[in-house]
Amino acid sequence: MSELIYLASQSPRRSQLLDQLGVRHTLLLPNVEGDAPEDAEAIEAALPGEAPANYVERVTALKLDAAVLRQARRGLPAAPILCADTTVTMGATLYGKPADAQDARRILAELSGRTHRVLTAIALQAGAQRWAALSVSHVTFAELSPEQIAAYVDTGEPLGKAGAYGIQGRAAALITHLSGSYSGIMGLPLYETAQLLRAAGFAL
């Protein structure tokens, strides 16, 4: 079994979490110079009426499909490929990455004083075999004033993050309760990731 894996994610937090497990990895990212362009937005589009868990698992599988093709197209050495996707949901509403600061303020206002779910799906492919898992966590925000929301959004931290917040950053001061996987809320549930890697033959 290869001692190295490909991480098909642009999230620095996922890379840091793999480092925490002691897993050597290299990034396998789309749209590098000289490569065929990939439409990430099309992959992440939700289907009408799609349940949040089905959405995040489907998107993760599509990301992994794209990464497998990317590896083959570039003629890269064989190694397992890991993909993940995180979404924040309250009821049937999906909260992805905010489009801009105004959108981030809207999302945080809707999450204020309420409990939402954070779903992170992971998938690992090694050769023809594929393993997948889903982490579900619950996060409760304090009642946030418009001034608190604006101040947090002004830090720039909410942009690029599902649900418009990063639990490992300043948003930790806004959260009253969480249950589930802290690393899953960050974007890569370490328990489930370790299970998948062991199934693929890694000794962790």
| Residues labelled catalytic | 85
Identify the helix (H) or strand (E) that includes residue 120. Answer: strand 115-126
Give me the sign of the Cα torsion angle 160, 28, 182, 129.
Answer: positive
Beta bridge partners of 4: 24
Query: Is residue 122 within 8 Å of residue 100, measured between CB atoms?
Result: no
Instruction: Characterize the bridge pairing of strands 81-90 and 115-126.
Output: antiparallel
Sign of CA dihedral 138, 156, 30, 25: negative
Which tokens hold the place of 176? 């009253």
Q: Which residues contact 113 (CB under 8 A, 6 or more apart)?
A: 141, 142, 143, 144
- Cβ contact 187:120 at 8 Å: yes
